[in-house]
Amino acid sequence: MSAVDDYLLGDSALYGRLCLITKLLGHFVASAPRAVSLEQLEKLSGRPARELVRLCNILCREQVLQPAGQAQSWTLACETSQLTLEDAFRCAMSEQASRARPARQKSAAAAAAAAAAEQQEAMQPEIDMLVMQATMGINQSVFQHLRQFSLDRLKVTAAGMFPSRRSSEDGLRAWPPARLSFS
C-alpha cells in the first residue's frame, strides 16, 4: 500500500487501529469457539500486554468479546458470521475516543475560552449543524459498507481452505476438450 492508502477518513492513526483490531478479531474468529489468551494476542500482534488488555476491555464494552473462564482470556460474544468490519470500525472509533478523553479534560479551561470566542461568530451554529449532518451521513455510509464484510472470511483464510489459484490460460486449455464424444 502507498502512504495515501494508509488513511481512513483522513486519519492514519484510525487506519492503524482498525487494522490492529481487525487482526485481533481475525484471530478470535480463527480460534472460535475456543478462548484466546493475552499471551496468544501478544505473540500475534507484538503489542504490549497493557495495550491489548485495554483493547480487549473496549471490545468487551462494545459487546464484541466476552471474558472467558480463565484469567485474561476472551471469546467472541457472537457467531463468527455475525462479526463484520463495522464492528471493528466501531471499536476503533470507541478506542480513539477513549484515548482522546484525558487530553480533552486537561485542556478544558483553554477549550472553554476558545469556545466562547467561537460562539460569538454569527454563522457558527449553522456551520456546526452542517458539518454535523455531513459527518453523520458519512458515518452511516461507512457503517453500511463495512457491514457487508463478514470477518468470518478470515476463518476460511486461516484454515487454508481457498483453492489454489489457476491461471486463466489453464482454463482456456481445458475447454474445449480435445475430443468430444456424445455416444
**Cα 183 from Cα 71, distance rounded (Å):** 69
Q: How sure is the predictor about 119, in pLDDT bands with cuts at 50, 70 and 90?
A: very low
Domains of the chain: 3-107+137-160 (1.10.10.10)
79 in helix, strand or coil? coil
Mean pLDDT within 87-107: 76
Top mean pLDDT of 10-14, 73-77, 154-158 is at 73-77
Looking up cell 463495522, which residue turns up? 86
Q: Which amino acid is at 100?
A: A
The DSSP call for residue 148 is T
The tally of CA atoms less than 13 A away on the side-chain side of residue 148 is 5
For the chain, the maximum distance between any two Cα atoms, rounded to a whole number of angstroms, is 91
74: phi > 0 → left, psi -120 to 50 → alpha, else beta; which? beta
| CA 91 to each of CA 5, 20, 21, 68, 87: distance values in angstroms, whole numbers, following the listed order | 21, 11, 8, 19, 6
What average pLDDT does the chain have?
75
This prediction has a pTM of 0.64
Q: What is the pLDDT of residues 6-43, one digit of tens each?
A: 555 667 788 888 888 988 998 898 888 999 999 999 99
Sheet of 65-67, strands arranged across: 36-37, 73-76, 65-67
